[in-house]
Amino acid sequence: MEKAELKFLRITYSHTHAGAYALILAEKKGDRRLPIIIGGVEAQAIAIQVENIKPARPLTHDLFKNLADKLDIRLKEVIINDLVEGIFHAKLVLEQNGTEVEVDARSSDAIALALRFACPIFTFEFIMSAAGLKVEEGEEEPEGQGKPADKPERQEKRGMKGASLDDLREMLTEALANEDYELASKLRDELKRREGTN
């Protein structure tokens, strides 16, 4: 089967699944998007890598990467290889000393690892045909890319904008202590923005 290469686009709030997030992948050569619904913990594991946040101790995906590096195991590629009853399945293609093995994985874990290893992400045409959404120029992105999904973020940013620098630093410390890395990255960006204008 012919593979289509994907790239990570973004994570947004899902407006169709309460308390969940949509991981959006985009075709590298095409105009379709593949939205994958994931939980908050999974979204956080991806967000901290995308935002380049370094936790004090390695998280699970970082531990896997460190272990693979020590054992000279290379993650060659991630393949989203099946869609069963609305659930995406993935596999990791690993290589060690010239030997290649495939390991079953949840799609969210596979993407979190692909981002850490900087390896390509693929899927098959039958999955894109079944679950991919074509985005016309000027249209909103699929699965919560438009204004309704952005509303909580806008409200959160308004709260940040009213806070003093000391309040923001305190909120950042608290977010890191609670391992809320998504909020921590937003607070960090707001602090950088303000400190850059002073």
CB burial of 58-85 (b: ≥16 within 10 Å; e: otherwise) equals ebebbebbeebeeeebebebbbbbbbee
Task: Delimit the domains of the chain by residue range.
Answer: 3-138, 149-197
Measure the CA–CA gap between 90 and 78, rounded to whole angstroms: 7
The pair phi, psi for residue 34, each rounded to 5°, is -115, 100
DSSP state of 65: H
What is the pLDDT tens value at each position of the chain, 198 positions in all?
789 999 999 998 877 777 889 899 999 998 899 999 999 999 999 999 999 888 889 999 999 999 999 999 999 999 999 999 889 999 999 999 999 999 999 999 999 999 999 999 999 999 998 898 887 554 444 443 333 333 334 334 446 767 788 787 777 777 666 666 667 677 777 877 887 765
**Assigned architecture for domain 3-138:** Roll (3.10)
